[in-house]
Amino acid sequence: MVARRSSLTDAANAGKFRLDDKTAIVTGGGSGIGRAIALLFAAQGAKVRILDVNEAAAGATRDDIAGAGGSASAHKCDVTEQAEVKTVFAELFRRDRVHLLINNAGVSHIGTVETTTEQDFDRLMRVNVKGFYNCMQAVVAHMKEQGGGVILNLASIAGSQGLADRFAYSMSKGAIIAMTYSVARDYLSSGIRCNCISPARVHTPFVDDYLRKNYPGREQEMFAKLATAQPIGRMGEPEEIAALALFLCSDEAGFITGVDYPIDGGFINLRG
């Protein structure tokens, strides 16, 4: 009897969260969370267009997808350059209808308002805010013409929480959350859903590079300290963020728009 229930459940879930016949643009898909999203979306049937300023990294993700039997292409794109974004997106539109945009390309920064230089500030605004704007502006008209789509923005809990030494980064991620709400509101009638994900600390190459640069010889000690800042006792993994992204971009999430989803190991609600 137990086996029978299990087989029925497997049958019911067999088609869940599939992205067959859909095309997804993933910015920053060459590494970290973007790479994990690209790999998972391809495994779920999507044709994935990997955009990254690092052409070799984008190509490596594409090759891994192809090696697993998936469909992907790699494209060099600096999301801060509007003309370049429009050119790359126009080429993708000529090839396919684009159903999904995952705005993920971004940079981090550590510092207070006093220690943040003008160059630091401008860089965060250019990549994390203007880059997201450029990609959304490039895709919205196409999605309207095609009857709808899904935009998913990668924000951070830094955009809604007071975190030490994250002045410019928090500013940029707060802007992403606000842009998400605005786009969701403006394009309801066009069939475009727009949500964002706000992770806490995730174990990506950025974390390892940061520890090597700032704490040589103390990497393991500081990694443990950063990991336990999340009440659950560890950092998130890129694949966990990708799983939430998959749900929000799937047809099963069709009733969800205009929402910021924390995925934070209890950071917001369970601290202290």
Active site residue 169: yes
Mind listing the pLDDT tens digit of every residue in the chain (272 residues)? 344 445 545 545 567 899 999 999 999 999 999 999 999 999 999 999 999 999 999 999 999 999 999 999 999 999 999 999 999 999 999 999 999 999 999 999 999 999 999 999 999 999 999 999 999 999 999 999 999 999 999 999 999 998 999 999 999 999 999 999 999 999 999 999 999 999 999 999 889 988 998 899 999 999 999 999 999 999 999 999 999 999 999 999 999 999 999 999 999 999 87
pTM of the model: 0.93
Question: What are the start-end ranges of the H helices in 68-166?
Answer: 82-95, 118-124, 131-145
Q: Which of 169, 187, 215, 261 is catalytic?
A: 169
Which residues lie closer than 8 Å to 244 by C-beta, 6 or more apart? 197, 261, 263
- The C-alpha atoms of residue 50 and residue 40 are separated, in whole angstroms, by 13
Q: How far is residue 131's CA from residue 105's CA, in Å, rounded to a whole number?
A: 8
Give the DSSP H or E segment for 112.
none
Distance CA 75, CA 189 (A): 31
Percent helix, strand and coil across the chain, each to the nearest 5? 55, 15, 30
Alpha carbons 151 and 133: distance in angstroms, whole number: 12
Write down all domains in the chain, each with its CATH number in brackets.
Answer: 19-200+237-263 (3.40.50.720), 203-235 (no CATH)
